[in-house]
């Protein structure tokens, strides 16, 4: 026999606990319907139990009526709270309330008009059964699929409650009077309804709220993903839609400047061109940053022989440092044969961004890349890559904001830029499960580092290296070239083959470097700002230097028979024609170390615009960089022709240099007919032949070439 008095106290304690749990559940889910009302359910139920305990000692009709009324009210509150939570407003709830009212009427009748203890207990049992059936209906119909865990708890306890009260209703014998505190069947129902059920109800409501919160989070996640997809579609569209009119604006303004005879049009056209160019640069940077959030891009991982890969990357970056006379160094503290399985494209972009920043902000001193092994694990290495510079340093209060978009340090504001470089780097590191650490000291320099876990790759790649290559790699090359575009392309091509490159922008710098360093081959532009290639070679024959037997390759677009004859008479080993082709450059560098006969053929289609030129550039630059290169050339072409016209009578040599640079760039960008026309004009000036109307004809040819180029751009976007 259960101690009913003890059960009353246990029930009271359980109701207090349930009230507390329901209150905490409401605090965590204040906007969830039904949670506020659910707090009052155990309070009213507690009052009902206390009334039943009082009735057990007083046995009054008033106490019995009060206790059952409170019990029925708690039942309705329970049903209403669950209905609100599930958003149910159907007629079944009204039927449940009606059944409760009928049971209340029967209970009052059997208490006052025709007293019958058996009928009163039966009415109470029927009300509990109707509550359980109503709630079971709600959970089976509306909650089982969206809230599986909470539904299991509720369905289990409601089934038990329904069975207990149904059993009592059918199995209880007739009686005239009794003391409920001494009856086992009463104690069992009190145990279930007053102690066990509240635990299940409080747990069930907490589970329901958690599941609803999880659903809301999932919906927000799906919405966010959909928003990202929409934004990604918008960005991919806007990148074309903005650049298309910008290119049209740039080209149209250029054509108007060329064709208009009214001098008042020029300042307006120049304002349009400058504004469009600034907008194009800003759009490029913003799109680069925003495109990182378009979707969760999967990592494109592959085996990378890390030392060679990092060494090649340094070969690409070192000429930039040498231009500023900075000491550029790679400190490699990893296993010599380390081969990692990683996303080399993202890693490459991160390192280029960091080194580019370091070179940009460092005016003297050193820039270093350090790769070190922190921990060697079974299937992976934990490594740290650092970029260290001796620049001006960064204020402590600025460091924590540097990876935010559009935020710049004090030095960054002086140097210019958009403030997106480190933000892009930080996003890329997030994708690689790493983060950027910045340490800086004013006037001493900064260190940008990140730790990353790299899985070990197939070490057999190391042994297979170079087996399939039929050309030389790892040469020490002196590149003498003054045009930025040709520098970038040549360095990119040679870095692919692991050549070590030193850069000279003029003839005097080239002579100085050849006196200080020995090279395997010299790639010499034949028309430099200060000296011609011929003058450089003649000077070298008169002085002592370390490259007496070093082969020299002519790097030029001037390929007339007389010029070629002159090149070979000066000891040129081979000629690398412009526009630069990787295979020709690669072959010439390899042949320079042998007795192979030179091959100087350069095939150029006689067209206004060669569409294959852009594809060649895309092998070395991103689409945005290629677009910027073309925009810069389009903007400056007419002004440079006008400048050449002005210099024609004032400074003939300077005019030849302007034409040479313009022709070289035009040929590299695919404006073949225009470039060749400029080469002819340059040749005539060198031979002191009259020009007649050649520059005017070149201007017309440029207008036609520009129209053809714009037509090609529009066709790519249709």
Instruction: State the Cα–Cα distance between residues 529 and 508, nearest whole angstrom.
Output: 10
- CATH architecture group of domain 302-455: 2-Layer Sandwich (3.30)
3-state secondary structure 636-685: HHHHHHHHHHHHHHHCHHHHHHHHHHHHHHHHHCCCHHHHHHHHHHHHHH
pLDDT 10s digits, 178-200: 445 455 666 777 788 778 888 89
Contact at 8 Å (CB) between 247 and 631?
yes
**Residue 342: strand pairing partners:** 302
Question: Cα separations (Å) of 710 from 276, 620, 674, 703?
Answer: 16, 22, 15, 11
pLDDT confidence of residue 98: 92
Centroid of chain to Cα 170: 68
pLDDT confidence of residue 492: 80
Phi, psi of 278 (to 5 degrees): -65, -40
pLDDT confidence of residue 387: 92
Contact at 8 Å (CB) between 269 and 256?
yes
Contact at 8 Å (CB) between 661 and 621?
no
pLDDT confidence of residue 267: 77
Nearest-10 Cα torsion for 153, 157, 158, 159: 110
CB atoms inside a 10 Å sphere around CB 110: 19
Buried/exposed code over 323-355 (b: 16+ C-beta within 10 A; e: otherwise)? eeebebebebebeeebbbbbbbebbbbbbbbbb
Instruction: State the Cα–Cα distance between residues 388 and 407, nearest whole angstrom.
Output: 21
**3-state SS class at 498:** coil
Instruction: State the Cα–Cα distance between residues 367 and 326, nearest whole angstrom.
Output: 7
Can you list the residues of the chain whose pLDDT is less than 70?
Answer: 1-5, 52-53, 55-61, 64, 172-186, 227-245, 247-248, 258, 277-278, 281-300, 405-420, 458-470, 558-562, 595-604, 619-620, 692-694, 717-718
pLDDT 10s digits, 626-664: 777 887 788 778 878 888 888 877 778 888 878 888 888
Q: Which residues contact 651 (CB under 8 A, 6 or more apart)?
A: none
Question: In the chain, what are the helix, strand and coil shares in percent, each to the nearest 5?
Answer: 65, 10, 25
Place of tokens 């606990």: 17
**3-state SS class at 453:** strand
**3-state SS class at 239:** helix
- Strands 302-305 and 552-556 come out as unpaired
pLDDT confidence of residue 370: 92
Contact at 8 Å (CB) between 670 and 609?
yes
Question: Cα separations (Å) of 515 from 158, 315, 478, 609?
Answer: 95, 22, 12, 42
Instruction: State the Cα–Cα distance between residues 194 and 49, nearest whole angstrom.
Output: 8
3-state secondary structure 482-494: CCHHHHHHHHHHH
Q: Which residues contact 241 (CB under 8 A, 6 or more apart)?
A: none
Q: Which residues contact 474 (CB under 8 A, 6 or more apart)?
A: 497, 498, 499, 500
**Residue 479: strand pairing partners:** 503, 523
Out of 1.20.1070, 1.10.1660, 1.20.950, 2.40.360, the CATH code matching 4-211 is: 1.20.1070
Instruction: State the Cα–Cα distance between residues 225 and 213, nearest whole angstrom.
Output: 18
CB atoms inside a 10 Å sphere around CB 237: 10
pLDDT confidence of residue 525: 86
HSE at residue 409, side-chain half, CA atoms within 13 A, is 23
**3-state SS class at 556:** strand
Helices 694-717 and 623-650: crossing angle in degrees, nearest 10, is: 170
Instruction: State the Cα–Cα distance between residues 647 and 683, nearest whole angstrom.
Output: 16
Instruction: State the Cα–Cα distance between residues 692 and 677, nearest whole angstrom.
Output: 14
pLDDT confidence of residue 384: 92
- Strands 327-333 and 302-305 come out as unpaired
Q: What is the DSSP string of 385-444?
A: EEEEE-S----HHHHTTTTSTT---HHHHHH---S-HHHHHHHHHHHTT---EEEEETTT
3-state secondary structure 31-76: CCCCHHHHHHHHHHHHHHHHHHHHHHHHCCHHHHHHHHHHHHHHHH
- CATH architecture group of domain 476-592: 3-Layer(aba) Sandwich (3.40)
First CA to last CA distance, the chain: 88
Instruction: State the Cα–Cα distance between residues 116 and 284, nearest whole angstrom.
Output: 88
**3-state SS class at 581:** coil
Q: Is the bond leading into 641 cis (omega within 30 degrees of zero)?
A: no
pLDDT confidence of residue 464: 42
**Residue 522: strand pairing partners:** 478, 552
pLDDT confidence of residue 560: 65
């Amino acid at each position: 026999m259960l101690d009913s008095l003890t059960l009353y106290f246990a029930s009271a304690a359980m109701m207090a606990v349930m009230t507390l749990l329901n209150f905490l559940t409401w605090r965590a889910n204040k906007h969830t319907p039904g949670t506020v009302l659910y707090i009052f359910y155990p309070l009213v139920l507690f009052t009902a139990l206390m009334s039943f305990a009082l009735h057990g000692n007083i046995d009054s009709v008033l106490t019995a009526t009060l206790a059952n009324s409170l019990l029925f009210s708690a039942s309705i509150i329970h049903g209403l709270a669950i209905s609100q939570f599930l958003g149910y407003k159907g007629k079944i709830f009204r039927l449940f309330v009606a059944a409760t009212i009928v049971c209340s009427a029967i209970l009052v009748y059997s208490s006052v008009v025709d007293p019958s203890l058996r009928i009163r207990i039966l009415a109470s049992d029927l009300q509990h059964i109707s509550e359980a059936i109503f709630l079971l209906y709600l959970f089976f119909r509306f909650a089982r699929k969206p809230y599986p865990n909470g539904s299991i708890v509720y369905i289990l306890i409601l089934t038990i409650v329904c069975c207990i009260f149904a059993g009592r209703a059918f199995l209880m014998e007739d009686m005239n009077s009794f003391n409920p505190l001494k009856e086992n069947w009463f104690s069992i129902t009190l145990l279930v309804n007053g102690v066990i059920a509240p635990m299940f109800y409080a747990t069930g409501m907490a589970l329901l709220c958690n599941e609803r919160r999880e659903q809301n989070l999932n919906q927000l996640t799906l919405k966010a993903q959909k928003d990202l997809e929409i934004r990604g579609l918008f960005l991919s569209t806007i990148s074309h839609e903005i650049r298309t009119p910008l290119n049209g604006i740039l080209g149209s303004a250029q054509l108007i400047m060329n064709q208009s005879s009214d001098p008042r049009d020029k300042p307006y056209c120049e304002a349009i061109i400058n504004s469009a160019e600034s907008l194009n640069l800003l759009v490029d940077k913003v799109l680069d940053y925003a495109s990182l959030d378009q979707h969760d891009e999967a990592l494109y991982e592959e085996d990378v022989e890390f030392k060679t890969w990092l060494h090649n990357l340094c070969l690409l970056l070192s000429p930039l440092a040498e231009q500023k006379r900075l000491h550029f160094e790679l400190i490699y503290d990893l296993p010599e044969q380390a081969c990692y399985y990683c996303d080399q494209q993202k890693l490459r972009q991160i390192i280029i961004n960091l080194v580019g920043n370091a070179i940009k902000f460092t005016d003297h001193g050193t820039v270093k890349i350090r790769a070190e092994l922190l921990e060697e694990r079974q299937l992976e290495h934990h490594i740290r890559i650092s970029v260290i510079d001796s620049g001006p340093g960064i204020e402590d209060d600025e460091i924590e904001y540097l990876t935010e978009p559009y935020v710049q340090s004090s030095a960054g504001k002086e140097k210019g830029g958009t403030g997106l470089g480190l933000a892009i780097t930080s996003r890329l590191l997030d994708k690689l499960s790493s983060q950027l650490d910045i340490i800086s000291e004013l006037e001493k320099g900064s260190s940008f580092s990140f730790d990353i876990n790299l899985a070990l790759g197939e070490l057999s790649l190391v042994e297979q290296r170079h087996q399939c290559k039929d050309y030389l790699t790892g040469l020490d090359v002196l590149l003498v070239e003054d045009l930025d575009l040709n520098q970038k392309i040549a360095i990119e091509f040679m870095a692919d083959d692991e050549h070590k490159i030193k850069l000279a922008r003029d003839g005097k710098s080239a002579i100085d470097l050849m006196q200080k360093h020995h090279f395997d081959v010299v790639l010499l532009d034949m028309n430099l700002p200060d000296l011609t290639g011929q003058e450089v070679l003649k000077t070298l024959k008169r002085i002592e230097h370390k490259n007496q037997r070093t082969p020299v390759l002519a790097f030029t677009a001037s390929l007339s028979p007389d010029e070629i004859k002159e090149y070979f008479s000066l000891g040129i080993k081979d000629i690398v024609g412009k526009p630069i082709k990787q295979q020709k450059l690669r072959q010439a560098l390899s042949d320079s170390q042998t007795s192979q006969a030179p091959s100087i053929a350069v095939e150029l289609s006689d067209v206004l615009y060669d569409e294959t030129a852009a594809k060649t550039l895309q092998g070395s630059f991103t689409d945005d960089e290629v677009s910027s290169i073309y925009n810069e050339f389009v903007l400056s072409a007419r002004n440079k022709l006008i400048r050449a016209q002005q210099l024609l009578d004032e400074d003939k040599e300077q005019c030849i240099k302007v034409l040479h640079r313009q022709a070289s760039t035009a040929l590299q960008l695919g404006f073949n007919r225009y470039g060749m026309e400029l080469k002819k004009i340059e040749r005539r000036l060198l031979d002191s032949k009259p020009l007649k109307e050649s520059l005017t004809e070149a201007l017309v040819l440029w207008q036609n070439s520009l129209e053809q180029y714009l037509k090609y751009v529009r066709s790519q976007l249709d």
